Structure 1
Amino acid sequence: MDAAQYLRKSRMEEGMDTEEVLAKHRKALAEYAAANGIHIIETYYEVVSGESLYARPEMLRLLEDVEDGKYDAVLCMDLDRLSRGRMKDQGIILDAFKDSGTLIVTPEKTYDLSDEIDDELAEFKTFMSRREYKIINKRLQRGKAQTIRDGCYVANAPYGYRKVTIDRKPTLEIVESEAAYVRMMFEMYADGYGCVAIARHINTLGAKPRRCDAFNRSTVALILKNPVYIGKVVWDRTKHVRKGARGNPKHITIQQTRDHWVIVDGLHPAIIDKELFGQVQDIMAGRYIPPANDGTIKSPLAGLVKCAVCGRNMQRMGTNTDTLYLLCNTPGCCAGAKLAFVELRILQHLQRTLAELSIETPAVRIKDTSAQEASLAVIRKEQKAADAQKSRLYDLLEMGEYDIPTFRERMAKVKDKIAALEQKEAELLLVIDQAHTADPAELARRIKAVLDAYDTSDAAHRNALLKGVIQTVWYRKKKKTAPSDFQLTIDLKYN
């Protein structure tokens, strides 16, 4: 019997190392499969723990393969690993197995959903696991609320601190090698230096942030605004809106204003004194308006313009004179420009494109994509090799060839490689798709509709209009050049 195995950490295993848990489960399922004549041909590692089905990418990939009839069965440690989310999601998962005739195999029991008794039992077990999940979640929230009130709850250790437990309470202790840079940031800002200058200076001194290669304007600004450095614990700085909750097409994270934060005295020691912290906050309040996501779109170019040098999204920045700029957060990268100049240049490009397109142009314009298709084949071959390498890493961990730190380091590199290949694959597929289905007449009609409605629209509507005809705007500008001396490469949506 050909089968896949699905590995996912359960709620009861929270706090345990994910790689260790999944390696243990993989070994147990491999032993069960060998004893029962089951041939495992694919493994799906779910390293995220989202409640929603759409927050579990490996489960979505598994369901596609199950619906295609790729496997006779799917192995998992128990039924809860497959389906413990919302009732709607549970129905989607169970229906996929039932319609395809794929068995669900656990060390405890095999479920054949074409059998009425197994089908009812699976529905009952998933219902009970969902109820158990809600009870556990409520307990966790009550416990978290209490630790917040006690001033000892810390979700993540910010730069300059590490998490510790004192008297069974989670808190922070100072990492002096990082705290020295934190003090330097506050002192330099109070002396009149900007976030970009501070980032450049501490990068040259060898400072390394936790989640990226180097400090930039945004990471410095976040540190300067964080009350944790004066011994406070902050809660509710963000809130989450689920996909579809407000008609939004995807899950969004909203940065809440300071008056919505919950700030209490923490148990951890302060790195910065309150006087210096207050001085920095006063300077920041009068110097610029930091961009923040409050659930609304304020820029017509949001998510459209990318730096052509580093590939990152250009960020909107407002000043106290209400002039908006587009800036690249990568230190030493492209120079910024006024947002209005970039917006005008994009509209002018659309006007020229509309003038060039003719309604009588043939409906389909086929381009030669043999080079792109050859590149796509190479990328998919590399993806297959990377997936095999990822699987071998787990084997080597189980055999004791790697220790946990080495495993994590090598797994991170493989994951980065896979992500880069997936990005290249998506870009090539878009080019091929546009080349084969490009309809200039339809594009002309859509561009005309955008230009006709643009002047009377607000920022959010303008953003939606532009995204209807533009895939990406690539921005490039050299340092110390004229304000309007920048170059744009605009990828249009032909279909």
Structure 2
Amino acid sequence: MTEPRVGLYLRLSREDEEEGESQSIANQREYLRQYASARGWSVAAIYTDDGYTGTNFDRPGFLRLLADVEAGRINTVLTKDLSRLGRDQIGTMYYYQIYFPQRRVRYIAVSEGIDTGMGGSGELILPFLAAANDFYTADISRKVRTALEVRKRSGRFIGAQPPMGYRKDPETPGRLIPDPETGPVIGLLFRTFLSCGSVSGTARALTAGGIPTPSQYKKGPQSRFPGLWSGTMVRRVLTNPTYAGHLTQNRARKVGYKVEKRVTLPREDWIVVPNTHQPLVSQQVFDRAQELLAVRSYAPRTGSSHLLTGLAFCGGCGSPMTYVRGRGGSCYMVCQGSRRGGCPSSHCMREDAVIETIRRQLAELAAGISRQAEPPQEQSRGEGESRAIDRWTEAAGLLYRDRAAGLLTEEEFRALLGAARRAREAAEFCRHQASVAREAARQAEALERLDRDTLTALVERVVVHHDKTLEVVFRFRRPEAG
């Protein structure tokens, strides 16, 4: 008979710790050593996974055990009980019924009398034990989820890593406080988006500005695509009410207690607790961002979208303007509230007349811009803004160097870095405003060529009054007189 080359496998998860000392790593080790010694077996190796769940088999100790099995170093595996091997029914049955027998490895779950080398009643009860262990894990998972949901609804942050811009309050568990290093990035992101009206444009601006991504702040420099912001990253920040001071959790969940993959949950499943911590942006700024996101992503359920869909509103009741087709084929904009009886004014305007008014106002603004900024002067102004941005970026780098050299205290560094960032943000804003205004001038004489994205970048909203006058609110500053 082949001499047993015994490997002891020990495993303990956080859930198992609640069962007491009987399941401790030390207890398992001593229990199995005594069992092997009583039979005259020498222990070749001990494999330990302390703090690892049994719902999957991707555990470092278990993987080393498998490697030694494949190399022929181990031909007998001992565990205290079947649940130490695993709590996933399918995986446990695979190793017990297929993997170990194919490699002529004897497996013994000592306390339950399961021994592949002896056969007998142990094999009959194995499927029931595996199912019971699986059920135990499912029940524990359900209880943990329930307890965590109670904490979430009480306004306590339970995640391992706070969202970018915040850190955990060391004095109050479950409370978030602004991070002085990453908090300003959130404000910059919102300002950039409200200025340009584009998620992808915001991502490009942050990347061009060398702003570290959320994963860089969490994990350090990335090996792939360092500093590359995406539209998904930007949208995730813009839609998170946590930044307006309302702790928001449960935005995603695991597919199941055995599967690590996460799925995004719809907004109605989020857990939002109002006014739990200091906001990084005002409620007004956050709401405006949501309105802009809704406008840019709006698509009618039937028919084709119109150029001003989601941008035009009634000046009387604030309802959106909707569209109806006249007998002659002309399209009219009508107050949605008046069609439902909720607005006393029943005014309407032809869509082409509204578009012509916007075109004319843009042309007037373009003329003002042209008078105030001749091309050489405009080019010089742009170069000056770029130099200012480069200067403040370089200044920020020098501050990091001086802090590392011990020339600045942490308090001095934070204060000076904040001032440098604010100055750079102001220069970036001025450069962007000039760019948007130039784009408005370029498009002014040919509004019909404007696509949906360009128009929403230029126009914030159009208010149609009962006397058929229009109020057009642009997203860029009008040129100053003089």
Q: Same fold (TM over 0.5)?
A: no
Q: TM-score range by the shorter chain?
A: 0.3 to 0.5
Larger Rg: 2
